[in-house]
Amino acid sequence: MSIASAPASGRTTRLPPGPPLRPWQAVRYLRDPYSTAREYAARYGRVFRVQTFRHCVMTGDPELVRQIIAAPVDQYAVNYEPGPARVFGKRSMPMLAGRPLRRERHIIVPPFHGSAVAATGQMIREVTLATFGARRPGDSFVVRDVAADFSRDVILRTIFGADAGTLDDFRSAARDFAQSFDYVAFLWLAAFHFDLDWLPPNRRLARTRRRLEDLLQAAIEASRAGTLPETAILNRIVAARHDDGTPMDDEAIRDNMVTTLFAGHKVNVASLAWAFHWLHSRPDCLNALTDELAPLGPDADPAAWAGLPYLDAVVKEVLRLYPRASEIYRLLARPMELGGYELPAGTDLAASAAILHYDPDLFPEPDAFRPERFLNRRFAPHEFIPFGGGERMCPGGHLSAYVLKVALATIVTRWRYTLTDTRPLQVRRIAGMMAPGNGVPVRVAGPR
Ligand code: HEM
Q: Which atom of ligand 1 is nearest to the CA of 323?
A: 5
Closest residue by CA, ligand 1 atom 9 = 387
Q: Which pLDDT value is given to residue 311?
A: 98
Three-state DSSP string of 301-349: CHHHHHCCHHHHHHHHHHHHHCCCCCEEEEEECCCEEECCEEECCCCEE
- CATH topology for 1-70+325-385 is 3.30.43
DSSP 142-209: EHHHHHHHHHHHHHHHHHH-TT-TTHHHHHHHHHHHHHHHHHHHHHHHHHS----TTSHHHHHHHHHH
Cβ pair 367, 346 in contact under 8 A: no
pLDDT tens digits, 386-436: 999 999 999 999 999 999 999 999 999 999 999 999 888 888 876 667 788
Closest residue by CA, ligand 1 atom 28 = 396
- Which of 387, 393, 402, 403 to mutate to test ligand 1, by most ligand atoms within 8 A of the CB atom? 387
pLDDT tens digits, 72-101: 888 999 866 666 788 889 999 999 998 999
At CB < 8 A and 24+ separation, what contacts does 192-197 make? 192/53, 192/54, 192/81, 193/81, 193/82, 193/83, 194/83, 195/81, 195/82, 195/83, 195/86
Q: Is the pLDDT of residue 198 over 80?
A: no
Enumerate the domain spans of the chain.
Answer: 1-70+325-385, 71-324+386-447
- Residue 422 C-alpha to ligand 1 middle, in angstroms? 31
The closest of 354, 368, 261, 356 to 67, measured between CA atoms, is 356
Ligand 1 surroundings by CB, under 6 angstroms: 93-94, 112, 259-260, 263-264, 267-268, 271, 319, 324-325, 328, 386-389, 392-397, 399-400
pLDDT tens digits, 6-58: 333 445 557 899 998 777 888 888 888 899 999 999 999 999 999 887 789 99
Closest residue by CA, ligand 1 atom 40 = 94
What homologous superfamily is domain 71-324+386-447 in, according to CATH? Cytochrome P450 (1.10.630.10)
Q: Which atom of ligand 1 is nearest to the CA of 268?
A: 1
pLDDT tens digits, 289-341: 999 999 999 999 999 999 999 999 999 999 999 888 899 999 999 999 999 99
Q: Which pLDDT value is given to residue 5?
A: 34
Closest residue by CA, ligand 1 atom 36 = 394
pTM for this structure? 0.92
